[in-house]
Structure 1
Amino acid sequence: MEVPNVKLFDSNSNYKESNTPRDLQFDEKRIMHIMNVNSFEGDLYSTDTQQPATRLTGVWFLPSFINHSCSPNSSRLVVGEAMFIIASRDIAEKEEITISYIDGMFPLKIREEKLAAMGYGFHCQCRRCEAERSVQSELKEYSSQYHELYENAALEVQGAVTSTVHTHIENCPACTELSAVYDGILGKLNSLSSLTNLEKQWILGGYSSAFLAKWLVCGYASGFSPPSDFATPQALQLVEAMKATVPGMLRTLSFATMLATAAQKDKNQVFALVHRLIQLALDECIRVYGKQKFDVVSKLMEQSAEFVPFF
């Protein structure tokens, strides 16, 4: 889509002198639809960390023309009334800038449902979606199970986070079953020779909540102790997959920071794993917030651990 002359959107412009074709009929439904598919949601955080964030919706002119991809190359950050578009991975010359219109950390079926529910009117054909469609029959069983279990698992995780008493995994059947789905996906991906390593990471990233559900419930119940039960090579593998899937997400930053913190507490932990987790957390912080001074990055990472890397 060609971006129109920005002067048309200047509050001081004389619209009557414009040669741009226009329909002066007021169509409330059309206006609301345009607002819905071109607006951005964001959280406004209070200086009081105990206060919940306020959910806001706004329209920004140029960012509204950025197209969607389920594996985007940029992220967005709202500061005050300004929106920053941040490169979340290396971008080649003449490569189109893309963002994700939805939470991309879901399997194909749920992503398709979310896009349809928002009324965007397109069927995503990005490389990630096409790769997942190519093995849809092989993953159908796991996709269906995930679809059935996710909402209940989300409620169990929310309960574990907010409960004043420890929630044991035995009382969270959906989280336990989702964990088995994740293990099944891992095994299936290892057998799919038609996919590249990156395509396997995309699929794994989409099922990240299947791993995180049980990981978080057990973690909050035990205070993430012993650290060796949480800062594992499998958890590291998932962080790398999440970064490859939708880079620049606060959820990934929170998870990486929590892992790095746990690994540093484990005196027997292999240094290479600790170093890699810290590297990943630092890099993801830049993908979320842009380049900052080291002391600012450290503070942002510390704050990110207060978020639950599931929702």
Structure 2
Amino acid sequence: MAPHRSKDPVPVLGPPALGKQKILDLLKFRPIDFAEIQKSLRENAEEAAKVKIGENKVEFSGRSLLGTLSRDAGIIKDGMRVSSAIAERSDGDFFYLLVSNFALSSTTVEEVRMHFPKGARVKIKHPRALCTAKGRVIIEIHNPMYIDFLGIEVPDGLTVEKIWEEASAALEKKDYVRAIHLLTRCVDEEGYKNKVEALSKRCQAWLGLNCYERAFEDAKRAHVVDSTHRHTYLLKGQLFLGLQKFRAALDSFYRSGLADDDTMKRCARLIEQRDTGNYELREFILGKSKAPEVGDYLGPVRMGMAADEEKGRGLFATEEIKAGQLLLVWNAAAVAPREDLPAKLMRKCLTSRKSLFQFLGLDSELAMEMGLFKPTNVLIHDQQQDYIWFDAVPAIAKLCSSYAFQIEDKPESPMGLWTLPALINHSCVPNVSQQMVGTALFVRAARNIRAEEELTLPYMDVKKPLDERMYWTDSRWGFTCKCLRCRVEARLHAQRPEFPCFHARMREAAKRKDRAEALEELRRIAVEVEDQIATLASPVERDWVRTSYYSAYRAGFLERSSDSPAKLSSRVSAYQMMAALHATCPGYGIVREMVALAKSALPSPGMEAISEKSRSLIEKECLCVLGEQKREFLDVFVDELLKGADFDILRT
């Protein structure tokens, strides 16, 4: 299943992006209290009344509001925002609190109450205050990163032993945020005898939130106190798995003495994948098993700036690569329905500083350090650097609109973001293929690639005429494709006015109610295209043009009738059309089309014994999708294709 870049924007709630100077001005936050907010709202209401503006809203950029979450959190009716209340004291007057870009459509009330626990002390950066017609004050937060949790209120006189009991109970209930803040009280208590246990349990709570970097810090601190603490080694193994440091995970599990055999075998399998780039996928490919767990793999690839300045950054081969060779395996940063993706990515920023820097790097125009993407590298959270958590909402919006893929080319298909593969630039004659294995993206060489050659893939179906491809690259992604194929076809369009007319006729044929007439018109177009390209000296250029008008050729080969006056087969063979597809867009949903074309050349529709050269070409195409396979497996796979099997890995 090759992912498709979305053609529709993803909505993200939030204000415009802050400028660089604005960010620098906001590195230090001046405190603001509730009284000052109310005073500003009253003054703003008076000014708004003078100019007849109904909305009373004030933004306090560079300010921070301290308070306590004084009510149980909930989810408002639109299902996308978290509601709570903030007060100077837990028993005092309060402001309503609305947090956007956090809740998913599947989020439960119990989950938001875990993340926004009643009684938590918070610092809200850049608060935006709104006064309703009924006089209620609402603090709006579009970026969840603007909320810093400072601790949990506990009754006066509560002993550290009692706090420990409450923390343990919260951890047992998977109330991780409360457990973390209560355990922090224990960790910070001078002379507390169970400090190593408190650090270990806080590590466990961070793991429950998928905050692997924070968990790593606590595990290190616990082993400074007691280097033999076995449960901490077990937790270390779990967090190293989450960070994809598989050798460290195996070592930690071994030292713990608490891991089972299946866990140890899992680590060994992931280490072998990482070291060799050898992923056992045969059962999955044949549809006999679910997608296996896979770790990220980084092959002979580097990041750099493309020769075409309009392209900006790109990925390049660092050595000569043969068709079918694995280049990247990359797990998704997030996969979610379209409306949930922004919040899912925002949550990823909250739990992983490495992901945050990757996202912000993708949002910039500069080449990034490749080390930021190496699976084994870990970024440690530094609380002294919290200023970097500025307004990531605009960056997330750009990622969703420019870099997010759909798993399948269907309106209801979930979307995802694969950070490093997102840097691969577009071409209408791509040299890499991509397939989905679960939510992991496998990128392979679809052709032989030279050292230092840029890796390219198609952002849309390139079996389309030039003007349709140009429309999508310009309207959806804001660039004009300048690949050699587009330049050749643009020259043909300028020299021969028939080519733009062919596409217009194809669109008109698609509107006809009489299917037989529509197909006959498509066949005529294919014959005329073939006549036009007969004078082209380059076979490759002829293949590119044939692929551009493939829907017309398809009607000629796959939906032909015996009495058709348009004799396409007398001008070009089905094998030549197969070769044209393979030469133009290898690895992109053309295997089944090639099988159908091969069968169309058979004298009898029921025959399965296609020609040897057709089968050989299909096997070459399979190499682009599956990589090098044993002969026995490849024979089984192609035989099943000829029998009509529909494998998930071939879906586009």
| Structure 2 partner of 1:163 | none
| Structure 1 partner of 2:414 | 56
- The aligned runs of 1:3-82 (5 Å cut-off) are 3-7=368-372, 13-14=379-380, 16=382, 24-28=390-394, 31-43=396-408, 55-82=413-440
**Is 1:153–1:213's contact at 8 Å kept on the other side of the alignment?**
no
1:140 and 2:506 correspond: no
| Structure 1 partner of 2:592 | 254
| Equivalent residue in structure 2 for 1:198, among 540, 548, 559 | 540
**Is 2:373–2:420's contact at 8 Å kept on the other side of the alignment?**
no
User: 1:12: how far off?
Assistant: 6.3
| Equivalent residue in structure 1 for 2:529, among 185, 200, 207 | 185
| Structure 1 partner of 2:551 | 209
SS in 1 for 2:407: strand
Shift of the 154–139 alpha-carbon distance from structure 1 to 2, 3 Å rule, reads farther
Shift of the 148–262 alpha-carbon distance from structure 1 to 2, 3 Å rule, reads closer
**Is 2:595–2:641's contact at 8 Å kept on the other side of the alignment?**
no
SS in 2 for 1:122: coil
**Is 1:142–1:181's contact at 8 Å kept on the other side of the alignment?**
no
Shift of the 278–171 alpha-carbon distance from structure 1 to 2, 3 Å rule, reads same
| Equivalent residue in structure 2 for 1:238, among 574, 577, 580 | 577
Say which structure is richer in helix: 1
User: 1:174: how far off?
Assistant: 2.2
User: 1:60: how far off?
Assistant: 0.9
User: 1:149: how far off?
Assistant: 2.4
| Structure 2 partner of 1:292 | 629
Q: Distance in 2 between matches of 1:191 and 1:231?
A: 16
Q: Distance in 1 between matches of 2:558 and 2:500?
A: 21
| Structure 1 partner of 2:215 | none
1:235-264 alpha-carbon deviations (Å, 9 max, x no partner) = 1111111111111122x2112222334556
What TM-score, normalized to structure 1? 0.73
Amino acid paired to 1:122: F
Q: Distance in 2 between matches of 1:8 and 1:171?
A: 51
**Is 1:146–1:178's contact at 8 Å kept on the other side of the alignment?**
no
SS in 1 for 2:434: strand
User: 1:15: how far off?
Assistant: 5.5
Q: Distance in 2 between matches of 1:12 and 1:292?
A: 34
User: 1:83: how far off?
Assistant: 1.0
Percent of residue pairs bearing the same amino acid type: 25
SS in 2 for 1:111: helix
1:27-63 alpha-carbon deviations (Å, 9 max, x no partner) = 45x533322321223339xxxxxxx997332111211
| Structure 1 partner of 2:193 | none
Amino acid paired to 2:525: V
| Structure 2 partner of 1:103 | 461
Shift of the 136–306 alpha-carbon distance from structure 1 to 2, 3 Å rule, reads farther
| Structure 2 partner of 1:47 | none
Q: Distance in 2 between matches of 1:211 and 1:95?
A: 32
Q: Distance in 2 between matches of 1:191 and 1:87?
A: 32
| Structure 2 partner of 1:86 | 444
**Is 1:153–1:172's contact at 8 Å kept on the other side of the alignment?**
no
1:69-123 alpha-carbon deviations (Å, 9 max, x no partner) = 11011110110121111111111122111111111111211101111232x2221
| Equivalent residue in structure 2 for 1:114, among 448, 452, 472 | 472
User: 1:155: how far off?
Assistant: 9.0
Q: Distance in 2 between matches of 1:18 and 1:209?
A: 59
What TM-score, normalized to structure 2? 0.37
User: 1:6: how far off?
Assistant: 4.8
SS in 2 for 1:92: coil
**Is 1:75–1:88's contact at 8 Å kept on the other side of the alignment?**
yes
**Is 1:150–1:178's contact at 8 Å kept on the other side of the alignment?**
no
SS in 1 for 2:413: strand
Q: Distance in 1 between matches of 2:504 and 2:636?
A: 36
